[in-house]
Amino acid sequence: MPDQEVLKTAKSQAFKHLSYRDRSKKEVAQYLEKKGHAPSIIQATLQNLEKLNYINDHRFAMEWGRWRVEVKKFGKIRLRHELSAKGVSSHIIETTLDTLYDSHPEQDLALACANKKLASLHGLEPEKKTRRLAQYLQRRGFSTDIIYETLKVSTLDHGGK
C-alpha cells in the first residue's frame, strides 16, 4: 500500500498541473515521474484522478483538437500526430478527428489558411508563391490531395499574382 502522505503530495501536484489546462493521462504521468514519484504512486494517482474525472482522454482530445482546428486551422495529419504524441489512444484520436472534421471540413480550413498566407506572399513569382504555399499547408498538416485542390482554387482566385 503506497504511503498516504506521498500519495497526497502526488495528487496535489497533479491537481496543480491540471489547473492550467486539461491534460492527457500520459502528460500527467510524465509530470509526476519528473517530480520523482514511484510508478506505484503514479498509477494510484492516475486511477484516482480518472475516477474523479479530472483526467479524461476523450474530453482532452476533443478540447485540444477543437482549439487546434478552430483557432489554429490545423489539418488531420498534424492533429493526429499531436494527439498521438500526447499519448491519446488511436481509437480516441480517430473518433475525435471524425467528429471535428465533420463540422469543420479540411478543405475549408486549408483554403482559409491559404488565403491568409497569400497576403504575405505578394510580389513573388507564381512558381515560388505556389511552392511556399504548398509547404506552408503541408506544415499545417494537410494531405497532398487537399493541398493540390487548395492550390488550384487559391491561385485561380488570385490570378496567380
Give residue-wise pLDDT tens across range 93-139: 999 999 999 999 999 999 999 999 998 988 889 899 999 999 999 99
State whether 65 and 36 are in the same domain: no
State whether 91 and 128 are in the same domain: no
Structural domain that includes position 13: 4-51
pTM of the full predicted structure? 0.87
Residues (pLDDT < 70) of the chain are: 1-2, 155-161
State whether 134 and 147 are in the same domain: yes
Mean pLDDT of the chain: 93
Q: How many CA atoms lie within 13 A of 141 on its CB side?
A: 19
State whether 76 and 61 are in the same domain: yes
Q: Which pLDDT value is given to residue 129?
A: 92
State whether 74 and 36 are in the same domain: no
* Exposed / middle / buried, residue 51 (Cβ in 10 Å: 0-12, 13-18, 19+): exposed
